[in-house]
Every structure is written in C-alpha cells, then in structure tokens.
Structure 1
C-alpha cells in the first residue's frame, strides 16, 4: 500500500502520545486522524474511511479492547495495532483473539511503530492480492485456452484494451467465460496490483444491490447492524467487474451512472459522497440494445459502458478448441478428486468435438469431470454421456435444394424469398436470440432487426400484425458468466 494514501486512526487519551505518533507517521507520508476516547474513535470510524487503527488499551469510558471489537464489527478487514503502558500477557492474548494485528508498549519507539504499521498495511494489501490472484489463476488458464481464430482475435483485443483506461463491455452466452475475460483484462492492466472485485448483479436481490455496490450506514435499513463498505470502495485502485449488468434494476443503474460520471459514491443512509478510483468492466448475456429499446436499461449507461465491446465466442463456433480444453479439464478433475491420471482414447475427443455444447465451456468442464469420476482405468468413448453426441446440422434454408417451390418469380423477388427463409432458419436455430442469430449471419443486430421488419418475420414464421412489436429474445439462459 502506498503510504501517501493510507489513513491511520490513533486513539489515545494522552495528548503527548497522540502528538508523537502523528509526527512519526506523517513524516513517513501517512494521513493521521486522532481521537482521545473510544467513543470519539467510533465516531471517526463511522464517518471516515480508515486503513489502520492504533488504539490504546487503557482509555476512559469504553476501553481499547471493546473499541477493537466494535471497530472490527464496522470494518471486518480493518487491521488494528494495540498499545499500552501497563498491559499484561492476558491483555495481549485478548487483543489477538479479538483480531488485533500487533501490539507494542509505551514509551513509543519510532522504529518499532513504523515496522508494526508497515507490516500491518502490507499484510492487508498482500491478503487482498493473494485472494484476487488465487481466484484469477485458478480459472483463467482453464477456460481461455484455444487457438481458433475467434480465440486468437479475442486475446489480441484484450491485449489492446487492457493497458488503457477504456471501459469494457464483455458480451457472450452463459458459460462462455466472460468473467475470465474480465480477469485477464485486469491482469494485463496498469491496475493489476489492485483488487479485482466481482459483483454478480443477477444473484443479488434488487433491494440489496445498492447496499452491495455502495455500502451502507448502520441502521440505514432493517438488518444493517453495522456500517459496511460497498464493492466500489473495496475495488478502489483496482477493477470492479459487474457481471450480468443487464439484470440490474433502473434505480441501481442511475447510481452506477452517477459513479461513472463523477467518480463519487454515497453509502445507503448517508448524504456524504467520497471519491473512488475504479475501472469498470461489465458483462452480460443479454442484448443491451434491445433492453434499451424495451426501457429496461438506461441508454446513457449503455453508452458509458460500451466503450470497447469484447465478444466471447460460444464453444460451438470453435469446436477445434474442444480437445485442448477437454485435456486440461481431465487433468484438473483427476487432481481435484484425488485420482490418478487416466489415458484418454482419441475417439473421446472426436465425440466431444461433434457436440454443439449449448452450455459452452462450463458444460464441457462438467462433462469431463463426470467422465473422470465414472470411468475405469482409462477414459473411452463408452464413458461419454449419451446426451453428448454428433451435433445436429442447422436446417437448410427451405428451397436451397429445390427452388421450384417458389414458382415462376422474377430474380429479385426470388432473392428476397430465399433471404427471408434463410434469416428465419437462423433465427429459429438460435431460438430467436437476436445477438446470436446476427453473429451467425455475419450482420449487425440493427441490420437484422431491419430485415425482420422488412420480411414481416415472427416466431411462428407468419407476418405479424402492424401493431406487433419486434420479436423478443428467448433462451437467454441463466445469469452466470
């Protein structure tokens, strides 16, 4: 942690001790806040973000050990150093049990204080990095494998945008690995040493999403027993990944937009704004342009987020990557389940490569783990689940083999009829998911919408009444990246 950005709260009833600690700490670039009682210290903790607490054990009124416990209730990850001139072993043990990071005695020794403070801040910083790195490394190498043109292009695009400050919108079906793309953008960014914080907007109830993102004050709503930092604040100096942002309610969208515009957030139950330095990466399996048209997603927020879109290809569009992914998943499954490595028959990879994988990479990983667990000494084609088989070829456009069904029509009209049937077949193949159908056709979504209107297409394949709205997108899948 950069000392010039670390804020330290010193709570001691002796003015000389507070003055000495302030001089020592400010000389090293720390920002120092003071309180002469535990009660004053709690007021500071309830109103100011603090990186470290230095509390005296013996205080008038509430003692320092009680303050330590209350502070840890407010800020669960707050490191606290205890000091005293009359402490015994039981005090030290009690302080450690309550979560104290370190302990030193009076009179204050400058070098001892600085070593303790640096260690406490470094430990907190390191723990955050280890957690973020562990989560990143645990999954990144698993799912971002592949040498298909689509994956090479995706990695190339990540390499371009990651070092910049541009906001990224990751698009793709459920199970394709959108979170891994976001984590890789963070890893290659200038914020790689900062936290990578994920919020699954679809997994949090709408009434709690604002508290999760921006934090809340104690008593701001039923169940708010203590102040809580929001994920914007937790991600300060790093990256905040808003997964499945298409499921976020309009109220929370408005506050996210304000945070993007001003760089400030306000906790629920507070009127005080404070600045955060966060890079936003958002992801969704929905067509946000369609959501904007439907009035369920703010257009201004969409434009703020959609600076650099990255599309993660579905596994069916890169089937040549299946063998290398499966090999990796077999290795992981044997290790995670405490089994010995098993040889795999080549026919297994051939069979896996023929499946369409509607659940994408996540489905492949689950199938591979099942085969590892249920197979014998080696993995054979007989171990491949019956539900995994040759992919069904997309239905050919009606009339592609026999144009006589169109009768005697001018060439231009024939072209329109064939185009209509071909677009309809792709829409039905992708269950009327506009984004996926547009990708299969190689056109922009807006152009596909125009073609749907032009040809009067609907789910049933019949011309809709004039007042009918554009077809919706079914089969979006669960909100999980």
Structure 2
C-alpha cells in the first residue's frame, strides 16, 4: 500500500485525538498540530499527502492555512472541516483549491471516502512517478562533464550500431549495467527485451538452468518447463554481469552458444536458435584469470569484439555535483522528506572523498544522510566512518579518517605553529613575524590550543 501521510490541524485536543484514532486504525500515518502556525512548521520539515484542518481556529484559521499551503507549493491536498455548513464557505474552499469539505457531526465514513478517493489518485500518481523515475534515473546517470565518461558514451553509441559482442570492464559500482542499457537503447534492438543476469548470484547447476532453461522432469525439482535467459532475450540484448565468475564447464557451453547461435535446454537434445546481442561485464582482470586457468582465452575472444572501460568515480569527479543532487532528489521523494540545506562543510566532504565503492557507495551515503536528517538539514555527524586518500601530502600519511574541515584546519594549524616556534627557538615575537600575525594573536592561539604553558614561561 502507498505510504499515505496525514497532518491534522485543529485547536481542540479532543477532535485531534478522535481523528488520530480513526485514521491510524485505517493504517494511515498521522501527525497532529494544534494551530495553523504549527501546521506550517510541520510542512516545512516533512511531506504530507493530506492536511485535514479545522476552518475556525485561534490565530491562523483553516482558510488562511489553505492559502499558505497553495502559495508555498507544498504539493499536498487539503480537506477543510467546519461545525457550520454554508454554501458560501464550501464555494470559497473549493475556489482556494481545497480537495474537499467536511462538516463535524456528519458520518465519519463520508470523510474516509474522500480520503480513499485521494489515496487512489496518489497511488496512480506514484505508479506513474516510479515509471518516470526509472527513465529519469537512467538518463541522469548518463549526464556527464567528464571527458573520460564522454568517451565511454561515444564508443558505446558507435558499438550499438553493430551487432558485435561487447565486454564492459570496470570496478564494482561504476555503472556497467547503465552502459549496457545505454547500448541497448542506442541499438536497432531497443524495442525488444533487455535481459540481465548476474552470474555471481547463482550456484553452478542453477546458473545453467537460468541461462539455458530446462525441460520438465530433467532434474529433481524441475516440475515444469522453464524458458532460460537466452530464449527470453531472443531478438533483444542479453547482459551477463560478472561473467568472470562463470565456472569453466558453463564457459564451454556459452562458447558453443555464441558460435552456433543456438541453445539446448537442460534435459533436451533439441536445438533452439537465438538471435541476440551479448553484452558481458566484469570487474575482474580476465587476462590474469586466463593465466591462472580460471577463464577460457577462446571465450574472451568471442565476447570482447569491442571493449568498453568504465572509469571509476574518482576519475570523473566533475560529475559528483550532478550525482549528489540526483540522489538527494531521489531519496527526498522516496522518503517524503524535505531537505532544505546541507550543513557547512558537508558538501566539501562529499566532493573530496574518493569513493572506492564508486556510484553505489555515493548512493548509499546520500540515502543514509537523508534517512538520518532532522529539520530538513543534512549533517556531517551522519556521515559513515569513511576514509580518504591523501597520498599527495606525505606529512599527513597515506590515509586519514574523513573529518570536518574545521577540525583538519585546527590540527594542521597546531602542527605548523609548533614547527615555526621550533625554528625560532620558541621566540614568540619572531614566530609571530613569520606567521604575519601579532604577538597577542599568537599568544591567543597558544591559549586556545592549550599550548601556552609550554611556550610562555
């Protein structure tokens, strides 16, 4: 069921509690506000599908609250509730954009029917959003300012114009499946199926059944005939992710399928022709796998007519702002949380991190920050315990725990002051001259960092 959130605004506690009891019994998530002003503060921080507000309240009344909600584009519907029914009030409410109008004392089922009507509308909108979001995600992940990634897209688009088998190389989390889908979308097969299978997640016997299918009764548990991924992808594209994990015996069968353009289901001798484009991907070094006897050299030659190497996120840092904004929008919408800003220094932390887990790690970090956010603010304290490479500065060391910029400045300011004082024989006046600050400012720094007793006798 769609996660439907309702905010009830009423200055009478008894009515608020009745609404809460009735609506939570129906499975809705309910928040309560005792005034129009408090209701607006709730809407600043959280997303709600519906506001049920009393018309007559002290301070900001229901009509004024409705106006504010529409002015600020909170994207929620409003049902006005009143003890006194007049045609004039109903007309005003509808003109202002209220979804409905409910009279206290009426059968509560009337209100619940209005809410159910809105719920169905929201569920349809959500289904459409999911489809649209999937398309947007795909397009957004292809947006780039990186010369390296632009070259990947150029090669992929050219490769798509042929029927050549393509091998995509890249670290885990770099978006190899996104590139595979892009190739499919750029090809003449785009109206046909794109079928993905991860070779890593299946055991040997199950993987062969997954790829080639099986006949009923061909092995214990084969209670019915199964169509494999090769048949499913006929006329379209088969994407074999983590192909470097294929066991040798399955590699032999795959080689035969590529050469003969036909498969045999497990338990059958009948040959079934397949016409598809094969795209493979791996994060393994296949040359090394061949040398160590874990991958067939002749299979590599069949799957890598064209090779595409996807750069790591560290190699395309120009794209970090695009990806950060994309994942923030994605998780705000999914979690119905409104994010207004990032705490100072957080964006620098996100930009300066190297992301060994690539886009997948960035996605997880942003999701975590949105989940743990309060009052619409993403905070540094909610960052996971990550490390950043700082090899360009040997004085710091090869790795350091990622910290707020203020702490880093403080740490290295202390180190540098100590170094200058040492060079000056602990002469404060000389050190202050080199640092281009006054002696008093230097003394204050020493006090701040608890070093005054050490240097001021």
Which residue, 290, 301, 304 being the options, matches 2:302? 304
Change (3 A) 1:138 1:351: same
Where structure 2 has 5 or more consecutive residues not aligned to the other structure, the ranges are: 1-127, 400-457
Q: Show the counterpart of 1:271.
A: 269
Match of 1:42 in 2: none
* Structure 2 residue corresponding to 1:377, chosen from 368, 375, 387: 375
1:317 to 315, 318, 321: 315
Deviations 1:72-94 (A, max 9, x none): xxxxxxxxxxxxxxxxxxxxxxx
The verdict on how the C-alpha distance between 1:136 and 1:184 changes in structure 2, with shifts beyond 3 A counting, is farther
How many Å apart are 1:369 and its aligned residue? Answer: 0.9
Structure 1 partner of 2:363:
365
- 274, 283, 292: which one pairs with 1:285? 283
Q: Structure 1: 5+ residue runs without aligned partners?
A: 1-129, 397-424, 429-481
Q: Aligned-pair distance for 1:274?
A: 1.3
Shift of 1:386: 4.9
* Aligned counterpart, 1:166: 164
346 and 324 in structure 1: CA distance in 2 versus 1, 3 angstrom threshold = farther
Is the partner of 1:356 in helix, strand or coil?
coil
Report SS of the residue matched to 1:318.
helix
Deviation above 6 Å: which 4+ runs of structure 1? 133-136
* Paired positions, count: 267
Separation of aligned partners in 2, 1:217 and 1:354? 54
> Larger radius of gyration, structure 1 or 2?
2
- Summarize the Cα distance change of 1:390–1:253 in structure 2 as closer, same or farther, 3 Å threshold: closer
| Cα deviation code 1:382-424 (max 9, x no counterpart) | 245152465322687xxxxxxxxxxxxxxxxxxxxxxxxxxxx
Provide the aligned C-alpha RMSD in A: 2.3
* Contact 2:215/2:265 (<8 A) preserved: yes
1-side partners of 2:246 and 2:133: how far apart? 24
1:186 to 184, 198, 201: 184
| Aligned residues of 2:216 and 2:225 also touching (Cα < 8 A) | yes
Distance in 2 (alpha carbons) for counterparts of 1:158 and 1:378: 40
Partner of 1:106: none
| 1:162 CA drift (Å) | 1.2
Q: Relative to structure 1, is the Cα distance of residues 327 and 336 closer, same or farther in structure 2, using a 3 angstrom cutoff?
A: same
Is contact 2:370-2:378 (8 Å) kept? Answer: no
Q: Which residue among 337, 340, 353 is the counterpart of 1:355?
A: 353
For the residues of structure 1 that align with 2:144 and 2:313, how far apart are their CA atoms? 10
Distance, in Å, in 1 between the alignment partners of 2:132 and 2:205 is: 31
State the TM-score, normalizing by the size of structure 1: 0.53
CA contact (8 A) 1:354 1:389 kept: no
> How many Å apart are 1:160 and its aligned residue?
1.1
Shift in Å at residue 380 of structure 1? Answer: 4.4
Work out which of the residue numbers 192, 204, 207 in structure 1 matches 2:205: 207
Give TM-score scaled by structure 2 length.
0.55
Q: Distance in 2 between matches of 1:255 and 1:220?
A: 17
**Residue in structure 2 matched with residue 16 of structure 1 by the alignment:** none
- Give the Cα–Cα distance (whole angstroms) in 2 for the partners of residues 327 and 320 of structure 1: 13
Post-superposition offset of 1:308: 0.8
Pick closer, same or farther for the CA change 1:139–1:391 going to 2, 3 Å: same
Q: What per-residue deviation string (whole Å, max 9, x for no partner) do you get for residues 248-273 of structure 1?
A: 01111111111111111000000010
Q: Indicate conservation of the 8 Å contact 2:337/2:376, yes or no.
A: no
